[in-house]
Amino acid sequence: MRTYPWSQLLLFPIALAAWCAPTAGRAQTTRSDSLKALTAHKTDTIRIDALISLGRELRKKDPDQALVVQTQAKEQAAATGHTDRQAKALNDMGISYGMKEDYASSMEHFKQSLQLHSVRGNQIGVADGYNNLAIVYKHIGDYSQSLNAHLKALEIYDALGNQSGRAASLLNIGVAYDLMKEPKKAIEYFEQALEIKEKINDEEGKALVLHNMGLMYETQKQYEKALTYLFEHLVILEKTDNQVALANSLNSVGKVYLSIGDYKNAAIYLNQSREKATKLGLKQPLIHALHNLAKIHIGQGEPNRAIPLLEEHNRLADELKSFLLKRQGHDLLATAYEQTNDYKSALKQAQLAAASQDSLFNTERTQAYQQWQARLEVYEKDRQLDQQTQELHLLEARARTESQLRWALVVAFLLSIFSAFLFYQKYRIRQQTNEVLLQKNQLIETQKAEIETTSKELERRMLRAQINPHFIFNALGSIQHFITANDRASALKYLSKFSSLLRQVLEDSITNIVVLEEEIKLLKIYLELEALRFDGGFNYQIEIDPDLDPHTTEVPLLLIQPFVENAILHGLMPKSGERQLHISFAVEGNFTVCRITDNGIGRKAAAELKAQKAGSQPSRGMEVTRKRLEALNKNSAAQTLVSFNDRFQADGSAAGTEVVIQIPTA
């Protein structure tokens, strides 16, 4: 998932406040005193507005210098009581901190600005505040909060008929949908924003939309469209002299050229991006430019020129504390060292990449835990508030009852009417209490169902996770064998393929279901590893029925692999002569059917061979797979069916085994 530069923030112009003369004839004020006060007020507003405008110009080139000026504007506005300008200065400081990637300070200043605008009843300022807060949430990965904040801003802009603000919200909502991997919705919102920006002649806003659309089409590999939008975007940036945005945008153009293999043009734009980012002290565009320039050198067979670039890349990644960027740098360094035949350094970089991947995985788990902890705290606070509200209602009911009883004693002749009224009041309170209890019970039932669903999901994930160590230990044993045999090239090749498989499994670990194309990709990597491990001791073939679409068909992750492993280890490897493994996928009725066929020794001979081994135990992988199938069938309306068929020659001798796995398609 790509990140967006902080230039995504839309800057809203601040109009100079019109100075209005005071009404004549104020009591106890001389004409001379009034003139001095008005002159001072006018001077303050002009000076603060000048500082705000200067800060915005500086921000395009140097956010640090901009912050110095914006801090002066904030302090002078606070000292002279200009809370509207104080709020604007705080908002501008939030943008500058965001460009420096100091998101904690950025969010703090945006919240202060939003609070001041809210107190003054400035709805445009409130909407701008929500828009900017949403962008901070986006940069820290909280896309749900980001989308909610953008929608709040959009409601205010629509209510006020503010087209510029509406365009800003539409653009940022499009970015949020892109980050949530919904490109069609993202493009829909981008096109709406672009139409408004063209209508109101907002060149800087139009440039932002064009850049985002270029990034979208580059992701979808529509490179000509991407370059069209990006070049139109660059023309506007050159015209407005927006150096910070240019550092990011030049990198975007270079990346597109790199994707289509035009190294010459890619190097031109990436070097320009590197130069501007270095000059402005922008780490994010600099690190991307270094990574892409290193890719060019590696693609041109110049690894020695790529290595120093990647070492600088990794130093910056350490400063940014980004495990993702560190993993990417170490991965590319391993490739560069492999090109120089320095396998020892390549192996070290591959290990560092794997360690960075593990750190990234642990960080994501910690963030998920913190999010659940925060939700739990919100739930507890809401529950306490509900309890306090119920107690307050109860006290109010008691007070009303006592008051009614006192009146009943005083007014005896109204006793019968008052009693009826009291009964009615109690009935109403009981009804309200029952409604509250019913709502609480419904909430509890809903949460209970969610917990049960989560528990079942965790059970499936735990069973699936047990399969990985079974294969990992075999793979590590093979690597150890190659190293002991001093076969470094094979060890490095095996480790590279093994890390690719492990990375793919980790990236898909957020879900139990993947499309068939991803499952086949994992199977191919696994089969390549096993073929390398057994020195090409068997041949394999994978076929897909033309009527089956692997891009849309979904299957449980790593369901097929244990059966393939069983066929190789217990069916094919004990056999002498030619060893063949055939895997096919087809659609039959409401099932996706996988057939795993081998020409091995057969199940009977395999069982006898296994019984002869001292201390033999049941296959751990197949036992875990059996439990996993039970869990899948328990939690699904349609069952996944597995059958084993023995194959025989014409003379009755064993000809191998066929495993048929029927996976429900719905």
One-letter-per-residue 3-state SS of 249-293: HHHHHHHHHHHCCCHHHHHHHHHHHHHHHHHHCCHHHHHHHHHHH
CA–CA separation, 665 and 641 (whole Å): 12
Closest to 471 measured CA to CA, from 591, 566, 587, 613? 566
Among the residue ranges 285-289, 414-418, 473-477, the one predicted with the least confidence is: 473-477
* Helices and strands: H and E segment counts in the chain: 23, 7
What is the SS3 assignment for 198-218? HHCCCHHHHHHHHHHHHHHHH
pLDDT at 179 (0 to 100):
80
Beta pairing class for 539-544 and 554-556: unpaired
Closest to 130 measured CA to CA, from 120, 117, 140? 117
pLDDT digits (tens, 9 = 90+) for 45-73: 888 999 999 988 888 778 889 999 999 99
% of the chain beyond a pLDDT of 90: 15
What is the SS3 assignment for 463-483? HHHCHHHHHHHHHHHHHHHHH
Q: Please report which confidence band the pLDDT of residue 92 belongs to, taking 50, 70 and 90 as the band edges.
A: very high
Q: Which CATH architecture has domain 42-121?
A: Alpha Horseshoe (1.25)
| Radius of gyration of the chain, Cα coordinates, nearest whole angstrom | 34
Among the residue ranges 3-12, 406-415, 453-462, the one predicted with the least confidence is: 3-12
CA–CA separation, 376 and 354 (whole Å): 33
CA–CA separation, 509 and 461 (whole Å): 8
**pLDDT at residue 332 is higher than 80:** yes
Token pair in block for residue 563: 């059966």
Q: Please report which confidence band the pLDDT of residue 178 belongs to, taking 50, 70 and 90 as the band edges.
A: confident
Cα 508 → chain centroid = 14
Largest CA distance in the chain: 124
Q: Which option is the CATH number for 467-664: 3.10.200.10, 3.30.565.10, 3.90.1150.10, 3.30.160.20?
A: 3.30.565.10
CA–CA separation, 48 and 536 (whole Å): 76
**pLDDT at residue 661 is higher than 80:** yes
**pLDDT at residue 290 is higher than 50:** yes
Q: Answer whether 129's CB lies under 8 Å from 141's CB.
A: no
> Does 44 or 14 have the greater pLDDT score?
44
> Does 417 or 192 have the greater pLDDT score?
192
pLDDT digits (tens, 9 = 90+) for 221-254: 899 988 998 998 888 888 888 888 888 889 899 8
Q: Answer whether 496's CB lies under 8 Å from 468's CB.
A: no
Computed over every residue of the chain, the mean pLDDT equals 79
| Residues whose CB falls within 8 Å of the CB of residue 28, separated by 6 or more in sequence, listed in order | none
Q: Answer whether 176's CB lies under 8 Å from 189's CB.
A: no
pLDDT digits (tens, 9 = 90+) for 488-527: 777 787 788 778 777 766 665 666 788 999 889 888 988 8
Q: Answer whether 600's CB lies under 8 Å from 557's CB.
A: no
| Residues whose CB falls within 8 Å of the CB of residue 228, separated by 6 or more in sequence, listed in order | 214
- Statement: 205-300 belongs to CATH 1.25.40.10: yes
Closest to 562 measured CA to CA, from 509, 622, 502? 622
| Residues whose CB falls within 8 Å of the CB of residue 205, separated by 6 or more in sequence, listed in order | 10, 164, 167, 168, 171, 193, 197
pTM listed for this prediction: 0.42
pLDDT at 40 (0 to 100):
52
Token pair in block for residue 179: 């980050």
Q: Answer whether 187's CB lies under 8 Å from 213's CB.
A: yes
pLDDT at 504 (0 to 100):
66
Closest to 78 measured CA to CA, from 91, 94, 89? 89
**pLDDT at residue 580 is higher than 90:** yes
pLDDT digits (tens, 9 = 90+) for 261-270: 999 998 999 9
Query: Angle of helix 343-410 relative to helix 415-465, nearest 10 degrees?
Result: 170
Note the residue count of the chain: 666
pLDDT at 587 (0 to 100):
93
Distances (CA, A) of 30 to 25, 35, 80: 9, 9, 22
pLDDT at 32 (0 to 100):
47
pLDDT at 636 (0 to 100):
67
Q: Which option is the CATH number for 131-201: 1.10.1740.10, 1.10.1200.10, 1.25.40.10, 1.20.1630.10?
A: 1.25.40.10
3-class secondary structure, 1: coil
Residue 509 CB-density burial (10 A; 0-12 exposed, 13-18 middle, 19+ buried): middle
Please enumerate, as own/partner, the contacts of 480-489 that have beta carbons within 8 Å and a separation of 24 or more.
488/343, 488/344, 489/343
| Residues whose CB falls within 8 Å of the CB of residue 350, separated by 6 or more in sequence, listed in order | 330, 331, 334, 492, 495, 496, 499
